[in-house]
Every structure is written in structure tokens, then in C-alpha cells.
Structure 1
Amino acid sequence: MTDFLGAWQAWRDEREERLRAPHGWLAITAIHWLTGRAQRFDDVPGSWSGGEHGATVTLEPGESLTAGGRALPPGTHRLGPLDEVGLTLAFGDAVAQVADREGRTILRPRHPDSPTLRAYRSTPCFPPDPGWVVPARFEAYAEPVGDAVGEVVLDRDGVEHRLVAWGEDDDCLWILFRDATSGVTTYPANRQLLTEPPGPDGSVEIDFNRATNMPCAYTDFATCPLPPAANTLPFAVEAGEQVPLVVP
């Protein structure tokens, strides 16, 4: 039990540190959807436009952005092509992400003094409980369905439940889910889990104590996916993160 609690607390401390990072999700000040018309914004230098193939920024004298350690001089710069991760540009003590969202381009500045980060207090959690470390099995699809690679099957009080899973790096599984606590003590849209790689026989462990909020629980400037209807558990998962405490 001591090892379980110690490992959970270390994970929890690391999670809070990431949430409070000066350029993390809580530091976002806006999400600008770029169009073909050049626009200026209060929270990032330059005049910006964008389309399905990337972004264009024009910097005036006295304005600067740094990309990959290289300062962009005054003038017009083409950024792209872009993927979902995109590019990170630095300016002063802030950064801005330029990325693709299904053919549209977003510009998302992150400032260490953002109102959301200043207002953030903590993310409460249910008390860690080894009973919420649940054995399960992974059943891979013959072919991926969209980005989903299979289903994780678990038993609760003699009833089988299936959760659609997505593949992550190192063969880990990513799961989005809702349950009977959603909209009550936990964030209404969903929570997420990351498992270790399944064993050769498909065995996998789900630790609901490490269920975390998606970025959209912390900011309106995130674009988060929703879980499929099948990933709604009919029972209350009283483990993992609850609704964040943000005091305006």
C-alpha cells in the first residue's frame, strides 16, 4: 500500500507541476482561427492570415518572433505546411502555437501571466484506492476503425464493459470515457486514461486513480475530442481527477 500511495502521489505532484507550467494549457490566452484576411491580435506580434496549407505572418519593425531558435526578421514569413502539433514561436516570455485543425489554421498564444493560470488553484482528486486498479483485456480490431485500434474489456460486478481505445507511443492505449460522476463531481465532457502496453495475451491494467481531465476542462481555448457513446460507463468511477478549482 505504501508503494502504491507513494507512486500515486509522485504522479499527482508531477501532474500539478505540468498544469502550472508557464506555457501549459492554463497559460493560453486565446485561440485565433486564421482566415485568408490578415488580422492583428493583442496577444501575439504580427499580422496573421492562414488557410489549409499553413499560416503567413508579417512582422513590422520592432516586432519579433523566434522559430526553432532562429529570429524572424521584419517582413512576411510563410509557416507550413502544418500538422496538429504545428510550430511553436517564442516572443518575450510567451510562446504561440500555430497548427492545423482539420484544414483550418489556429494561432494559440500562451502567456505566463494569463488570467486562467493566475486563477487556477488545484485539481481535487478522489482518494487513491487500489480497488480502482482494474484488470482488463485488450481486443485489437482486425483493422483500425478511424484512429481506434481496439477495445478494452473489463468486468464490474459481473457485468462486462467495453471501452474503445486508441494507440499511443510505445504501444500504450489511450481511453476517453464518461461515467456516472460526469457532470456531478467530475468534468461533464469526459476524462482520459493512459494504460501500459497490453501483454502478449492481451492482458492490460486500467488504473482509474490516474484518470485525468482533458485540456478543455481548464480552458475554453482547447479543441478536445469526445468519447464515443460506447465509452460511457453506467457506474460511478470515484477515482482520479475531479472538476478543477479555478477562482476568477
Structure 2
Amino acid sequence: MALFPQLVTSSLALWRGTAIRAPDGEQPEQPLQLFDMEGCPHCRLVRETLTELDLDAVIYPCPKGGDRFRNRARELGGRERFPLLVDPEQGEVLYESRHIRRYLWERYGHGRVPGVSSRLPLDKGRVVLASGSRLGRGLYAKPARRPERLLELYSFESSPYSREVRELLCELQLPYVVRNCGKSSLNEFVLPAIRDRLGLRYQPRSRNRVELLNRTGRVAVPYLVDPNQGTAMYESESILAHLRDHYQI
């Protein structure tokens, strides 16, 4: 993976979608559903909020030219417009990133959308620049086989290594559960090699990071679980090769 362009994209987005900003927020019993285009700036705003509220969601990719989930989105909300959030537990179906973010913060973060996120024109500018830097990746459908069971991706929105995986998942219209792994302590912002050299003890606090540590003995993203192939793996290049080999036509 070419890391530098990914770092540029995350920097243009001001690295929003990195840290958990409401660690004590409520978790829905039934998973949220997000009908999404990875390359859409409006969808990016919602995905950032999911990371910042430490919320998992089932992602239904709806790239342009896609034929799997766009009809379902129209049935649920009455039109093909994205992002579309469905909260089955509350019976809510919401369009518009501004409305969705406000709803998520009020319902699961117990507060208002913080800081610059409440100033929509300014906030929208950074995500338009960030999405534009990807030159259409994560926007257009590619032929692919449909998996029987949902994939799982441990990720957080601003992760440069995770973005290219999410772009391909979207292009192949592969539905998945995003397990958000936002950072919740200062030592998580220190590179692991430096943390080890300084002797900093790393003990993750967020539920999905704890799950990764218990499951694999380390914490890194992206981490893909594919129950259809009975496999799980780290490293973006390996994940991309796996998706292309097993699903892309």
C-alpha cells in the first residue's frame, strides 16, 4: 500500500475518526445499519462519528452502479441517497449526515455534536478535500461474488492502513460489520516500537481493542475476519489480496 497518499487523506480530514470522544456512551443491543459509499464525503462524516462514539455498525456498501443494497435502501427510506442510517432498536431511518450525527450524539453519546463538527460548512470542506484526494476510490462498483455471511473488519475511520481495505469492500459490495477501534488513551498515540523502547505498558481500554488483544495477542488495524473462508488476518496487503482472490470477478 502506498502510505503517503493515505496519510495525506487523513491529514486533510484533520484525523477525525481517530479517538473515542464519548467512552461511556450507550451501546445499542441491535446493531446499527449504515448504507454507505466509502468515497462519499457525507458518509465519511457519519463514519467518523461511529468511531468517536465507539459504535459498531453493519455496513451495506452502495457504490455507484451497485445492484445489491441500493434497492434495499430505497425500500427503507424511499430514495437512493447516502448516507442512510437505520437504528432497528429505535425504529429510526435517517438521511443527511447532519441529522444522523446529531441523532447519534444525542442518543448514544448523551450530548451535542462537539466543536467544529457543529459548524457544517467548515466541517464539510475538510471531508470534501479528503475524499477528493482518493480520486474516486470507494465510489464505483466492481463485479464480485456475494458472501453468505457478513465479514468483520476491525478498523477506525482515520486509519491509513484500513481505508484501502474499506474502499475495496465498498467497490465489491461486500457487507461487513465494522468493529471500531478508536484510540482512548495517550499511549495509544505512540508508535508500538517507540512505546516498547520507552517501556510504556500498553493496556487497551476500548472493548474492541481488548477483544483484539485477547484474540490475537496484539492490537493493530485493519484486522479482517472472514467466516465464509474460515480465516482471519492482519496486514492491509494480505487482506486486499484475500478479497480479490475470493470475491472479485
TM range (shorter): under 0.3
- Determine which structure has the larger helix proportion and give its number: 2
TM-score (normalised: structure 2): 0.25
TM-score (normalised: structure 1): 0.25
Rg comparison, structure with higher value: 1
- Determine which structure has the larger strand proportion and give its number: 1
